[in-house]
Structure 1
Amino acid sequence: MNNARGYLAEYLVGTALGIQELQRIEWDSYDLLLGEITIEVKSSAYLQLWDQKELRTLNFTGLQGIRSNPRAPDGGRDALGRRLNAMLYVFCVQTATSHDVYDQLNVAQWDFYVVSRSDLASTNQNSLGIARVKSLSGGATAWDDLKAAVTAAAVGQERDDDADWWGA
């Protein structure tokens, strides 16, 4: 299903990074944690589950999010509002252009683009098309090379205050 693609992308990236305990926490401020590196995973694909007249335009939305926590006052929303909540963003594209060859579990059919928080912040955008993602990342990273690319891109990246922002 199209709505499950994001979950699969998180699993593929987490597996490539060697994260042993992959846990999905809905509405968390980032998707994956590799040591101290916070990672947001975004996904897109040319194909939808249904028949199409033309391939889908690749676009990544919701780059800036609002942190939330059910233990926080006032409905659990961070007063700082929308912002980039991860040190790195991995943009994942399922590249199949025909339903006949589509295999969502074949990592060779995925392109992965690693973009640092600071590079993404420089755009001041909440959504990006694939051309901008390619430009910011310097090109696709193979699934086997994701851990090295993520580790390298994390150097010098900082997060906003990750303390208990809702109070002690």
Structure 2
Amino acid sequence: MSGDLGPLVITRRSGSEPIRANGETVGRLGDFWSWACSDLANNTMRGVLAEYLVATALDAAAGTRTEWDTVDIRTPEKWRVEVKSTAYLQSWTQPQLSKVSFHIAPTSGWDTHTGTTSAEVRRRSDVYVFCLLHHQDKQTLDPLDLDQWTFYVLPTPVLDEHCPNQKSIRLSSLERLNPLKTDFAGLQKAVAACAEGMR
């Protein structure tokens, strides 16, 4: 057994990598991705997609996603961005549209390099990006259509001031904090304005 148990170096994969058994190819990584990740409307995958969309808008999607990092995205400008997502529509049968709310609870911080958790509970980002998949027609829902998304950007200190220990926030309450509301095309500018204090 190796004595080095530090973090793995994760390299970006293409999807063409073989899945092997006894030296024989039995599938491709892309097959696994299609099997595991095609439901983009469920809470887990929609959240990962939202992170990717924000990272793409901020030119921060070149590498790979770090699971359990203290913030979701670190930009070339050193901005620390937390991404939250929600939607009116879910994959499963719904009696009505889902109520829109976002998780905003302060958390302890996990350090992937040391494998330790900080005892201090707080919000560690500079900016929050709240991603709402606002589309409300289930037959035409397409999370890959960015016209079906609305983004709300807020400096983290605003949350800390108005919602210091709050665990979640409804859309109506979020709007009262005057976030910058934008489509995908305006997301980079909105994050820059909040991160640099130019509101």
RMSD of the TM alignment (CA)? 1.8
| Match for residue 76 of structure 1 among 116, 132, 155 | 116
Counterpart mapping for 1:1-168 below 5 A: 1=39, 2=42, 3-34=44-75, 35-69=77-111, 71-72=113-114, 76-80=116-120, 82-122=121-161, 123-124=163-164, 125-156=166-197
SS in structure 1 of the partner of residue 110 of structure 2: coil
Q: How many residues align?
A: 154
**More RCO (CA 8 Å, sep 6+):** 1
Percent identity, aligned pairs only, is 35
TM-score w.r.t. the length of structure 2 is 0.72
Asked if the contact 2:69–2:112 (Cα under 8 Å) also holds between the matched residues in 1, the reply is no
The runs of 5 or more residues in structure 1 that have no matched partner are 158-168
* Greater percentage in strand: 2
Q: Which moved more, 1:123-132 or 1:18-27?
A: 18-27
Once the two structures are superposed, what CA deviation does each residue of 1:134-155 show, in whole Å capped at 9, x if it has no partner? 2224452111011111111012
Per the alignment, do residues 17 and 71 of structure 1 end up closer, same or farther by CA in structure 2, a change over 3 Å counting?
closer
TM-score by length of structure 1 reads 0.84
| 8 Å CA contact retained: 1:11, 1:22 | no
Letter of the 1:90 counterpart: V
SS in 1 for 2:131: strand
Which runs of at least 4 in structure 1 moved beyond 4 Å after TM superposition? none
For 1:85, the aligned partner's letter is R
1:25-45 deviations in whole A, cap 9, x for unaligned?
A: 111000111221000000000
The 1:66/1:136 distance shift into structure 2, 3 A limit, reads: same
Matched letter for residue 39 of structure 1: V
- In the alignment, structure 2 segments of 5+ residues that lack a partner are 1-38
